[in-house]
Amino acid sequence: MDYDDLRAFLAVAEELHFGRAAERLHIAQPPLSRMIKQLERKLGTRLFDRNTRSVRLTASGAALIAPAHEALAGLRRAEAAVRSAEDGDTGIVRIAFAGISTHRMIARLARAVHSKRPGIQLELSSQNFAQPALKRLLDDDTDIALGRWDIIPTEVDAHVVQSDSLVMAVPDTHRLADAGQVSIAALADEHFVSLPAHEGAVLPDRLRRLAHAARFVPNIVQVAPDTQTALALVGAEVGCSLTLASVARNANDPHVVFLPLLEPSPDVDMRIAWRRDDSSPAVVRVRDEFMALTEVTTRPADDRDHGSGPGPGPGPG
């Protein structure tokens, strides 16, 4: 049985009149009669008792009504699902994000997608740093990555979704805690807590660059595995730590004070990245939702960075 067989059968079963059923289906009566006879041959049983004056369902015909409705409803759902998937209204989109500075954006995205596109399911994967998120994107283990990178591979496109800047986290007992802002040069003699200086790490790189411009080498007394640990060490008066304004907005340790830097802040903007060859409608829809949440407030930025000079690096863990 196919879709047309079921429609023809149900039309006759509900009208109990071939002429009215044919009008309902917008076909002539002889083709409808042939369709019913062919269906009966396929099933090996009569579905209707009919004569020149009446049409009645047989027991077999009556038994077919409910399954026929269910089958047609299933076919309509399947067609709707295909159309919806083509439109990007359903599907699974995998997102890898890096660090606590991305949490606010991810939460806003999840709420927007749930509200506007409930047929799209998000699979969220938190990474300590952005470089692993980018690798997952390149390996096709995720569809969208959110973080900071100095170099965007040629097979990847990226877009700035949140402007950011550098701040110095200091203990609330620090001599400069009430200064409101600070120059990196004023911290030349301080102890520093740093994130791991792995390849592509943004904050260790920016600390090194800023200190070099101020003609000193930072005295790193402890390396923290992630930003939350680094801030805990700052609160414990182990040292100062270079971090992001977006981290400061999400932090709630009363023993840590965040001071904007007086020096111009190198690019640490947050970006979404996706594979250029990914044309999945659902991924495109989620990218659109990301764009709608864009928070670019400090300055215009190119959508792509080709690695010339300081650029966006991995999100702080």
Q: What domains, with CATH codes, occur in the chain?
A: 3-87 (1.10.10.10), 93-159+274-292 (3.40.190.10), 166-260 (3.40.190.10)
Which pTM value belongs to this model?
0.64
Provide the strand spans (E) within 5-138.
48-50, 55-57, 91-98, 120-127
At 86 the pLDDT is 67
At 85 the pLDDT is 63
The 3-state DSSP class for residue 256 equals strand
Q: How many CA atoms lie less than 13 Å away from 68 in the CB half-sphere?
A: 22
At 151 the pLDDT is 85
Q: For residue 82, give both structure tokens.
A: 């295909």
Per-residue pLDDT of the chain (317 residues; tens, 9 = 90+): 788 889 999 999 999 999 999 999 999 999 999 999 999 999 999 999 988 788 999 999 999 999 998 888 888 777 766 765 666 678 889 999 987 778 888 999 999 999 988 888 899 988 877 888 899 999 999 999 998 888 889 999 999 988 889 999 999 999 999 999 999 999 999 999 999 887 668 899 999 999 999 999 999 999 998 888 999 999 999 999 999 998 898 788 899 999 999 988 778 899 999 999 988 888 999 999 998 888 765 444 344 333 333 333 334 43
At 296 the pLDDT is 65
At 79 the pLDDT is 73
Backbone phi, then psi, for 53, in 5-degree steps?
-115, -20
Q: For residue 294, give both structure tokens.
A: 């864009």
**What is d(CA 70, CA 148) in angstroms, rounded to the nearest whole number?**
50
Provide the strand spans (E) within the chain.
48-50, 55-57, 91-98, 120-127, 144-147, 156-162, 166-171, 191-194, 219-223, 241-244, 256-260, 270-275
At 297 the pLDDT is 56
